[in-house]
Structures are given as C-alpha cells and as structure tokens.
Structure 1
Amino acid sequence: MTAGHHGGHLLDRPHHDGSELYVERGTPRLGDVVPVRVRVPASRAERAVHVRVVRDGEPRFVPARLDRSDEHDRWYVADVPVHNPVTQYRFLLDEPDGYRWLDGRGLHARDVPDAADFRLSVHAPAPRWLDDAVVYQVFPDRFARSTGHDGPPRGPLPDWALPAAWDDEPIAAGRGVAQQLFGGDLGGVEAHLDHLQRLGVDTLYLTPVFPARSNHRYDATSFARVDPLLGGDAALASLSAAVHARGMRIMGDLTTNHTGAGHEWFARARADRTSPEAQFYYWTEQDPGYVGWLEHASLPKLNYNAPELAARMVEGDASVTAQWLRPPFSLDGWRIDVANMTGRYRADDHAHAVARAIRATMARINPQAALVSEHFHDAAADLLAGGWHVNMNYSAFTRPVWTWLAEPGTELPFLGMPVPLPRRDARSMVATMRDFDATVPWSVTRHQWNMLGSHDTARIRTVVGSREAVEVAAALLLTYPGTPVVFAGDEGGLTGTNGEHARATMPWAQVAAGGGPRWDGATFATYRRLIALRRSSRALREGGLRWAFVEPDAVGYLRETADERVLVVLARDAWPGTRLPRALGVAGEVLHGGAALTTGPDGLVVPATDGPCARVWRLT
C-alpha cells in the first residue's frame, strides 16, 4: 500500500465492503442468494469480473454483471448463494495485464490465501442499538463515592483492603496493587450520570460488581449478589433504573473462565470432593492442587466438562448469565472476561459451546442484549462461530493506533509484550487494521468495541504524550467503523503507565470547575464535540470504509452510506497536504477541525497541517 503527496491516492482501486452500498443489510439464511456489489473505477480496464465463492470447501466462480456506470465508476453485481453458515467470497478481475484478486486486505496481482476473503454469516449480528452506541467504561472502585468525601473509605472494611484517600495515586505494581481500596460505589456512579450524558455517551459498561477479595473483583466470591462495598443488590437495581430512565443502557462484566479462590463454589469443592462443585474445577497433583488462570492460585479455572457448571453459569433461566438480565437489574448484555480462554484447557475446548450457550440464554430473556468478548489477540475464529457478537478490539484498533501515535522515545511496555511500545508509520497501522478487519464479517466489524485504552492498559494521554495527539486518537476512535468505548477519565486526559496505574480516580471537583491539575477541560470539550459529530452523521455510524490515502504521517478515509459521504483526514505531525480525485464530489461542510476543503481543477485539495490534527468534512 503506497501513497504520495498531490495525487498519490488509493481511490483508483476497486472496492468492496459489507456496508449498505455493497451488500443489503440483513442476516441471510441458509439457501438465500445475496447480491454483492463491487465498485471499479472507470480508469481501470477490466474485461470481466467474477466472484469466487467457497462452497463446502471448494471454490466456484459466479459471473458478475455490469449493474450501472458513470464517468467515475462501474458497478458490478453478482449473486452469492449462502450454502454454508459462513460463506466466503472474493472478487476476480480479468485485466489485460493479468488477473487480480480483491479481498478484505485490498487488491492483489498474485494469489492469496483465503483468510481475508469477504464473508456472509447466517449468525445474527449484534443488536442494532450498537450502531449508535458510544460506550463508557467504569471501574467502580475509582469512579465516585456516594458519600462524596475525599479521605480514606469510611465504615468497616474487609481484611484484605488497603484504604486510600480519593486523590492518592494508584499503586502501579507490586504489593497492594489489587488491595488498594478507594471506595467508589454504584451510588456514586448513579450520582454522576449527568456527566455521562453531558459527554454524550449512552451505554454504561461496569467492570465486575460481585463480591471479591480485590479492588478489581475479577476474583468473585459469589455470582449471586452485588458486593456490599458497592451498595449491594439495591444499588445496582437503582443504578439500572436510573440509566434506563435516561434512555441509556447498562452492561455487566462476567468471568466465565474462573472464580476467585474464595468463591462459595470453590469452598464447597475443596471441603467435599464428592460434591457437584468439585467437578467445576481442574485438580492437579502439583501445588496448589488445582489449575489457576495463568497459574494464579487466587483464580481457579472452571471446568466445563461438568454439565452442572454449564447449567449454573450459562444455560437456562436460573443461570448466572440470566439472573442479572432480568428485573430489577435488567442488564443490557455482558462483557465476558478472558473469553478466549473460557472452556479451554489442554485437550478440552468448549469455548464455542459456552459462547453459544450464553448467547442463547441472553436471547430468550432479552433479544436485544449484547455479548462482547475480551480477547487481546486474533479473535477471528471465535467470532465466526455464532457465539460472541463482537470483541474488545485490541488487535485491529488499539494496538495499531498506539504504534502510529506513540510519543517518540516512549519506554512504555507494549500491551503485555516483553518489548517497548514501537512508533511506526501509518502504512503499518493501516495494514494491521486491514489484516485483522478482513478476517471477520462486516456484520462484526461494524460493531467491534474499539478502544484507545481500558482498565488493563496505559492511558492514551500517557501513550501519545500531548493533548493534540489525544485529539487525533479520539477522532480516529469516533470516526472509524465499530462501537467506540471510552474508559472513564480519558475524556479529561487522565494519565497512567499501565493497567493498574491507569485505574485513577475521577477528580470531581476539577471536573466541576472545568479543569485542574488532573483534568483537562479542553480534552473533555474535544471528546464531547467528536461524540456529537458521530451522532450527527449516519455515515460515521453505519457507513463503509474506503482508504483514500496512507502516508507515513497522515491518513485519509471515506465513510459512505447511500445518502452521505464523509472524508476524515488525520495527521500525527506537520504534513504538506494532498489532492484527491474529482470523483469524490465537491468540497462540502466542515464538520471538525476548522480548515476548509477546496475544489481545484484536478480535484479536492486537502490542506496542509502544521502539527497533529484531525479534520472531517461532509462531501457533496
């Protein structure tokens, strides 16, 4: 993928994605025939276009017919039979100098493997409300206290807790990381819902709320109730009612892979090896006598060979999965912790069965509930099986964005790898995005949970090093296909060097004052404008994605629906601008960034930048 200044664009290449311009929206059934379209620029000299469909493992060719044409493009359409639950296809262009393949990674003048083929899936996609959603992640211990005081938490505390004042710095590593207790609770979240609505988000995602022996609560001691430190069941019911009264949604966080060592199931299992619960875990001859998640003795791993475990955890109306979706809690879905490891141990692999069971249970109680997996690397195989709707999109979004926008010379570790975070050019970023996006259907891509960071990573402000670079990152988050997720505090420029250090408290007095040492009011205003921009544009929420140009320090892409075309240009540094072809239309409304887009004799003139910046225009 190459591009240069003043005319070095990527818009002279054929294009297809799964958005409405190319594939009618809807979930096909086995036996359906789905028309798929491809756009071929008029500058090309194709003699014919075919679609290669993989049917029962064997490639077959379907001729495409010319559907319409104008001075800029020719549009071809071919009928793809949906013969398998996931039907793969790609386009073959017969050109005078040889054939070319078009797949999700782009155009190739050589043979390529099937991994990046386009896909039609009979599995229902995530609920349509995710089209419009902007998600706000809250780590309850660090968001707000219902009491409002700033000293150490009041009242009796558990024996594991190390109480901290609200303005203390989170411990980044070593002793006390999981025990430092700031005392945020669900009542505190409810008291600050105005902040969420002022920002413009509409979906609240809470990390675990079950009782545990840590501040993160991924080591649950029960799935049957809410931690009293957070206010108990009544606090979650009240928060859910308040969220729904505002027309918002609320999602929970569930560990299907493990429990805590203090969990009531595990206590019964250890006390009586003949109990049903004893079958819920993996036992070994080595210390500590059972399998822990990533060898952590505090997190014994669940064994889905036990039918009773599936019944209690994921199957049926009495399961943990179901309990919290019903009133009075009425969660609108689950994010599943370490979903990639759930049900997997040595020769056992129940991951897809567990995911499908969760989805089926959720669908019976709330057909509009969303199911999101946590998976830090390549999740493609798990996203094709009819289980998880979408994934927390570290691989196709967070990681490549970090490498492009990382502060020069940073020594931050790179998301769990034993190497520092590299700084790479935009060609690397875009190639990585396309590689991973191409392995899942568009019905997944359009709802993937895209993040600039989370409670498990460094803060984006620390990664990129400046307010201006944060704006570029936030603009990418809020204009790229998928569901944007904002970790509470990123909208005000909170900092943190790793996941634990990033779990900083919200400085509410500074938020109320519009700024302060820990709260950047200008960054908050930027996030608010960009969220409002996304809400104002159907193309930014639902449109396809066409890369217009990719240069080391700048990228441009189009988001397109049948009724709107939006151009996004992002630069990480000073950049001399470029020109794009007249086929895109004429300069239209400036949506973000201030600078005007002009129309010259050779096409659209994209203005230069003198530093990091984000610009968005609606074309006419």
Structure 2
Amino acid sequence: MTTLDQPHHDGSELYVERGTPRLGDVVPVRVRVPASRRERAVHLRVVRDGEPRFVAARLERSDEHERWYVADVPVHNPVTPYRFLLDEPGGYRWLDGRGLHDRDVTDAADFRLSVHSPAPRWLDDAVVYQVFPDRFARSSGHEGPPQGDLPGWAIPAAWSDEPVAAGRGVAQQLFGGDLRGVEQRLDHLQRLGVDTVYLTPVFPARSNHRYDATTFEHVDPLLGGDAALASLSAAVHARGMRLVGDLTTNHTGAGHEWFERARADRSSPEAQFYYWTDDEPGYVGWLEHASLPKLNYGAPGLTERMVTGQGAVAERWLRPPFDLDGWRIDVANMTGRYRDDDHAHAVARALRSRMHGINPDAALVAEHFHDAAADLVVGGWHVNMNYSAFTRPAWTWLVEPGSTLPFLGMPVPVPRRGGASMVATMRDFDSTVPWSVTRHQWNLLGSHDTARIRTVVGSREAVEVAATLLFTYPGTPVVFAGDEGGLTGVNGEHARVPMPWSEVDAGGGAHWDAATFAVYRRLAELRRSSRALREGGLRWVLAEDDAVGFLRETSDERVLVVLTRAAWPGARLTGLAARSSDLLHGATPLTHDATATHVPATPGPAAHVWRLS
C-alpha cells in the first residue's frame, strides 16, 4: 500500500502555524491534495458547542504535483475538533487523522486544536534515558554483593548476577546501584547523545523498585540520601542536561509514614487518605497488592499534602537543591479512580498548575499502558509513555518469528503482524490526541516494565530497524539504560539487568554490543542534525508486510524513512521525485525519474533515512 496519492493533513507547521491558540482565535489550517485527485471542492467540518458546522476551504496555491487549500477554524471550545470533506466524482470523502474514507466516520479521529499549553519546548529536542537506580552503577565500583548495613527485606546480589525473573526475590534482590554511580557515568550518557535523565523512584521503600515508598520526605540512604540527589542534579544541569523524577500519586507503600499513622489512629487526617474495607487486608491495594495501599483523593487534605500545598510532595523536589525538571507519574491512569470516584483529571490539572508555578518548563508525563486519549486532552498530563501508539505496534511488526514472549501484560504471546497493521494501529491512537501531544509523546521500545527490545526482535539488525523507528518517529525517544548495548531480558524484572561497565569501558564484550551502541549514537546525532526529524509532520507513504516508509517534513526540510524487517523487492513511490542523500549509511542511493522515486531492494532487516531536496 502506498499513500502518496491521498490528501494529507496533520498538526505540524506546514498545515497549522505553530503556537497555542486562545479561545476566540481563528486558526487557518491547510490540506494538501495530490494533483491526481479530481475534487470539485474542499470543505472543513468543525464542531462548535457539540454541533458540526461547515466552512468552505479556499484554494491557496497549486502546481503540477499538488493543490493546497486553507480554511479557518474558530477556536470556540477548549478542544476544537475538525476534519475535511472532499467533494469528488462518485461521492464525498472524509479526511481525518486515520486517513481518507469513502464512508461516514465517527468523530473519534478528528484533528484537534487545543488551548491547553503543550509539553515544554525542550522536549522537541530531547533524548531521554531511563535509569533504574539499583541496576545502573555503584559509586564504589565493588563487584560483589553489596556490603554494609542492609535492610531486612534485601537479598544481596553480585553485580554480575542474573536478575530474578519471577517468584521470590523479584522485588528483594538488591544489586546496590546508587545516585553517585549515576553521576560518575554521565559521560556515557553524553557520548550516547542523551540530554535528559529519567530516574525511577528514589524514595526509601521495602523493595528494589521503590514504588512502595515509606516516605516522600527523603531520598533512600541506600542511594546516597538527599545529598546524592542534589549532587546528581547539579552535575546534570552543569552539563546542560535535565533530570526527571518518578512519583506514585496513586498509592504509597504499606510502610509509608502516612499509612502507619492512619492504621494507628483511624481518627487521624491520614486515615482519610486511604480506602478501607471489611475484607482482608482491611484496605484497598493497587491491583490488590497489600504492599501498595491506594490513595483516596476525595479526602480533605490529601491533594494539598501531595500536590497543591506549600511544601507539597510534588513541588518540593522541583525546588533547590534538587531542581527536578518534571515528573513521570506512575500508573497515572489509576490516580484518583476507584469505583464511583474519579478525581483523575482534577489531580492532573492541579499537578500541572502547581509544577508550572515553580518551573514553567517542567514536564508532566503519565504512565498509561492502553488508550490514554481521554486523559491527554483536558490540560493535565502533557504526554504519555507511549506504549499503545508506539511500543505495542512496533513490537508486533518486528517481533522475532515464533516468539513466545507475553504481550505486555496480556495472556497471549506477541503476535507477528504486517506493516499495514502496525501503521493502522499507530494512526488509530495518534489520531485521538492533538498533534501538540503526538509530537512530544514519550516513545519507547521497552522499559523497566517490559522485555528488552533485543530479546523481542532477536537480532542486532532488527534492533537497528527498531531504533531507527524510535529516533525518526514523531515524539520524544526514550532509551532504557542498556538497550543501547543490546542487553537482554524476557520480562520487566529480568530486563533490569545491571550495566556491564567493565565491558562498556573495554569497548564491548559478551553482554555489551559495541556495534549496537554505535547505531544508537549515530541515530541520536542524526535526529539532532535534522529539524524535520524533531519537529516535522508525519506522512505515511508505504505500508507493506515487510516494509514501511514515511515522510517527516518541515518548511525547510523533507526526510524519507524506509524500514524493512526482511528481504524486500523495493518500491516505486509515484509523485515523489527528488534528489536525495543517505543520512544514515551514506552509501545507499535513491534513484529518480520525472514522476517517481525508486527505493532499492533490501536482503534483510534494514533502515534507511534519506534527505530529499
């Protein structure tokens, strides 16, 4: 399937002038129509106060390749949906975020203008690196089991031990990484091309993952305490980088000081912070885990204590000496939601407002494993960890044939599907949020909660294809520490493997693939060198079983990305004739004639990025 013969619109600068509109603004939006189509007229359908209205689009310019129409959208509501109607011989067509349709469609995929401010502009250029502190680096350099006083829950592990994948020890196996170890390895991050460090939780807890905080007032002494976080923050910012933390607004740990106070005195203010039941264990836990009692945002004082008050948890760590540049919110989709309670949007908006009162450039990122659209259009979370619109479809296209890996929490293995399925899934999910969200979504090939991408796809060559998709797709690329060296793992716990620093320092080894590191580094450099890859729109041009291709375009640059997962015979892209240069490999030419571009065949998994004139 090729799509260059279809009309196109997205929210990037070629179609909508960049900037956040205000209520009452009139925003011109553009649509490009290939010269091969026979439209009699183009209209804009905009929804105002729930009622559709039509506006005639004006022909703005045309040439032998395409026609550009423009129409005005009055921003009458905080989120204003619109789509295009093409009057063509044989019947009208709708153009929305999912593509062109010769039938009536729902409003779910309409394009959207939003008055809510987008994520901070620094995410346009960011490359984010996720660090799981216990497994990244020890400041001592000691390789054996952690020494000194350890908490009773900890099972000491040597740095070279394999992480437990399931059962006893999953949450208790302690490798002993710390924040000063992270600071000592910032050179590695900058060599890779990273400019933003995202830390999973650093608060004291009764587990290695620390999502069961016992307090929000201090950094875990096992990680070096408050002084270590302040030092890491200073070092990160001195290098012109940023630091994002991880906060559980949905729950605390069962050992948290609020919860202990609540259990000891049911008349205390803290007792209202939780949901109590008559069934064991007597309170509601996140996904029935007794170790993670759920917070009740209907309680007087909880929002103030956590979000809005002077010295509240969410804001104090954004202030000196810690100066976090934002929060990733754990299970954000569940925060404030229980039975007939739904405070989720109110909490998210309050959190954004409070953060921006301290640092207008602070980022607020949600964790949400499925359809996050309803939570991303209300002025709360800036963006989401983009499992649904990126990770999941990418896995289904690139997974190793015959893989039995479970599919991200589902009771089935990862299916292997064709490129058209991946593209349709991405378009479905991207179409439900404004472009101002899509262009900053945190895209990832894996995280501390998933299998490693090297294990999913099965080969170094397929990892290169996956990584190229990550660094060239609209959004913010997020790399889980170690993926850049080909580390492996069959699930989230098993994937939390310690970084093999002796092999990294030696330039490679049994667990560290220097060639994969070179690919990631080259891709980070490529993204930084191209405004189209950072800010451009997205126009799919190719979707076959074993190959996909898309254009990223700004007013001054056009880049073609073609990815293959297996041997592929090549393609002729009609209507895309231009001179080109290979940005990734420097030696694979495109050929052109007067009407088409010829993409060469590939013998197996391959990634190509061409800049077109």
TM bin (shorter chain): over 0.9
Residue 589 of structure 1 aligns to a residue whose secondary structure is strand
> Structure 2: which amino acid aligns with 1:497?
V
The Cα offsets for residues 444-503 of structure 1, whole Å up to 9 and x where unpaired, read as: 000000000000000000000000000000000000000000000000000000000000
Q: Please say if 1:592 is aligned against 2:584.
A: yes
User: What is the alpha-carbon distance in structure 2 between the residues aligned to residue 155 and residue 526 of structure 1?
Assistant: 40
Matches within 5 A, 1:460-479: 460-479=453-472
The Cα offsets for residues 337-387 of structure 1, whole Å up to 9 and x where unpaired, read as: 000000000000000000001000000000000000000000000001100
Q: Say if 1:584 and 1:619, in contact at 8 Å, map to a contact too.
A: no
Q: Which residue is 2:271 aligned to?
A: 278
> Structure 1: which amino acid aligns with 2:582?
V
The Cα offsets for residues 237-292 of structure 1, whole Å up to 9 and x where unpaired, read as: 00000000000000000000000000000000000001000000000000000000
Q: Say if 2:564 and 2:605, in contact at 8 Å, map to a contact too.
A: yes
Identity %: 81
Within the candidate set 305, 309, 319, 1:326 is matched to 319
Q: Say if 2:577 and 2:595, in contact at 8 Å, map to a contact too.
A: no
User: What is the alpha-carbon distance in structure 2 between the residues aligned to residue 209 and residue 352 of structure 1?
Assistant: 26
Q: Please say if 1:363 is aligned against 2:360.
A: no
> Structure 1: which amino acid aligns with 2:322?
F
User: What is the alpha-carbon distance in structure 2 between the residues aligned to residue 86 and residue 272 of structure 1?
Assistant: 45
User: What is the alpha-carbon distance in structure 2 between the residues aligned to residue 11 and residue 589 of structure 1?
Assistant: 20
Q: Which residue is 2:300 aligned to?
A: 307
User: What is the alpha-carbon distance in structure 2 between the residues aligned to residue 29 and residue 307 of structure 1?
Assistant: 33
Within the candidate set 230, 235, 248, 1:237 is matched to 230
Q: Please say if 1:394 is aligned against 2:387.
A: yes
Q: Say if 1:42 and 1:71, in contact at 8 Å, map to a contact too.
A: yes
Within the candidate set 438, 451, 467, 2:444 is matched to 451
Q: Which residue is 2:369 aligned to?
A: 376
User: What is the alpha-carbon distance in structure 2 between the residues aligned to residue 602 and residue 586 of structure 1?
Assistant: 9
Q: Which residue is 2:137 aligned to?
A: 144
User: What is the alpha-carbon distance in structure 1 between the residues aligned to residue 277 and residue 606 of structure 2?
Assistant: 55
Q: Please say if 1:441 is aligned against 2:437.
A: no
Aligned-pair Cα RMSD in Å: 0.6
The Cα offsets for residues 532-552 of structure 1, whole Å up to 9 and x where unpaired, read as: 000000000000000011111
Residue 314 of structure 1 aligns to a residue whose secondary structure is helix
- Structure-2-length-normalised TM-score: 0.99
Q: Which residue is 1:605 aligned to?
A: 598
Q: Which residue is 1:24 aligned to?
A: 17
> Structure 1: which amino acid aligns with 2:554?
T
Within the candidate set 486, 493, 510, 1:517 is matched to 510
- Structure-1-length-normalised TM-score: 0.98
Q: Say if 1:30 and 1:82, in contact at 8 Å, map to a contact too.
A: yes
Question: For structure 1, which runs of at least 5 residues remain unmatched after alignment?
Answer: 4-8
Within the candidate set 167, 183, 187, 1:174 is matched to 167
User: What is the alpha-carbon distance in structure 2 between the residues aligned to residue 318 and residue 63 of structure 1?
Assistant: 53
Point out the more displaced range, 16-25 or 596-605.
596-605
CA displacement at 1:316 relative to structure 2: 3.3
Q: Which runs of 4+ in 1 moved over 6 A?
A: none
**Paired residue total:** 612
> Structure 1: which amino acid aligns with 2:516?
T
The Cα offsets for residues 124-151 of structure 1, whole Å up to 9 and x where unpaired, read as: 0000000000000000000000001100
CA displacement at 1:579 relative to structure 2: 1.1
Within the candidate set 187, 196, 202, 1:203 is matched to 196
Q: Which residue is 2:217 aligned to?
A: 224
User: What is the alpha-carbon distance in structure 2 between the residues aligned to residue 499 and residue 307 of structure 1?
Assistant: 36
Residue 321 of structure 2 aligns to a residue whose secondary structure is coil
> Structure 2: which amino acid aligns with 1:81?
P
CA displacement at 1:584 relative to structure 2: 3.0
CA displacement at 1:585 relative to structure 2: 4.0
Q: Which residue is 2:573 aligned to?
A: 580
> Structure 1: which amino acid aligns with 2:398?
L
User: What is the alpha-carbon distance in structure 2 between the residues aligned to residue 601 and residue 65 of structure 1?
Assistant: 29
CA displacement at 1:602 relative to structure 2: 4.1
Q: Say if 2:78 and 2:115, in contact at 8 Å, map to a contact too.
A: yes
Q: Please say if 1:407 is aligned against 2:423.
A: no
The Cα offsets for residues 307-355 of structure 1, whole Å up to 9 and x where unpaired, read as: 2110010113321000000000000000000000000000000000000
Within the candidate set 73, 77, 82, 1:89 is matched to 82
Q: Which residue is 1:504 aligned to?
A: 497
